[in-house]
Amino acid sequence: MGRPVAHVRAYLIESHSMLREIVFDTETTGLNATGGDRLIELGCVEIVNRIPTGREFHRYLNPERDIHPDAIAVHGLTPEFLKDKPLFKDVVDEFLSFIGDAPLVAHNASFDLGFVNAELERVSRPPLTPDRIVDTLVLARRRHPAGPNSLDALCKRYGIDLSQRTKHGALLDSLLLAGVYVELLGERQATLGLNGQGGIDMMLRTRAAKARQRPQPLPSRLSAQDAAAHRAFVETLGADALWLRYPAAV
């Protein structure tokens, strides 16, 4: 008799197998996926054993239609900004290749899944099935029945930095949700402190400002006198000194 899905997932974690999941979010022209509203932004973050790997999929999309003013107020994406962006049909192969057959994690997942599946239907592709979806809103309501359980509220509850989130954005929200997801599962210790002060925060800072290489290497701070003093000190340590294994030290 086969194991229940929950037991299989627990077994994979306990045996240190590679558990790959995709945290994703969308922005849209409005709220009605079946009434003609369209995707305009799609963001995905890969996590393995609940740790972000740095692999991401992010695309703005031309919806070929207008955008509701209330939606623009939420995400700030205008028709003018999106008019030269690719159509969903132009990125669908890359998107499906990125997510593969991994479980998909989203907040209020029925909304995002509805829009993604509507776009897949337009390009004659099979829908993403609900059995591979993990809805963090459902997890949050179980763990915090009194709420509030919006993404903002959960980030504040768990101390995840929201300073870069002036408006909704699919990629940034996916990265924030990855941190919330780990907290909801109670696996922060297992993922090396992936919280507001850990991996998520570091990835946000890295994205905001890429490291730049110095135009000229810094000069050495070690003088000839310092090197000579070090060699003299090493000679006093005896023939078994570890420093003697390194030619530069003698």
Locate CATH 3.30.420.10 in the chain: 5-208
CA of 39: how far to CAs of 25, 98, 117, 205, in Å? 10, 18, 10, 27
Q: Which two tokens stand for residue 193?
A: 């402190």
Q: Which pLDDT does position 6 carry in this prediction?
A: 45
Q: Which pLDDT does position 1 carry in this prediction?
A: 45
CB-based contacts of 118, cutoff 8 Å, min separation 6: 33, 34, 38
Residue 169 CB coordination number (10 Å): 20
CATH code of the domain made up of 5-208: 3.30.420.10
Q: Which pLDDT does position 83 carry in this prediction?
A: 96
**For residues 165 and 23, what is the distance between their CA atoms, to the nearest angstrom?**
17
Q: Which two tokens stand for residue 58?
A: 């992010």
Tell me whether residue 168 is one of the annotated catalytic residues: yes
Q: Which pLDDT does position 15 carry in this prediction?
A: 45
**For residues 213 and 203, what is the distance between their CA atoms, to the nearest angstrom?**
19
Q: Which pLDDT does position 10 carry in this prediction?
A: 45
**pTM of the predicted protein model:** 0.71
pLDDT in tens, the chain (250 residues): 444 444 444 444 444 578 999 999 999 999 999 999 999 999 999 999 999 999 999 999 999 999 999 999 999 999 999 999 999 999 999 999 999 999 999 999 999 999 999 999 999 999 999 999 999 999 999 999 999 999 999 999 999 998 888 788 999 999 999 999 999 998 764 444 444 445 555 555 545 455 566 666 767 777 888 888 888 888 888 877 777 776 654 4
Three-class SS state of 56: strand
The alpha carbon of residue 66 and the mean position of all alpha carbons in its chain are separated, in whole angstroms, by: 29
Q: Which pLDDT does position 14 carry in this prediction?
A: 46
Q: Which of 16, 144, 168, 230 is catalytic?
A: 168
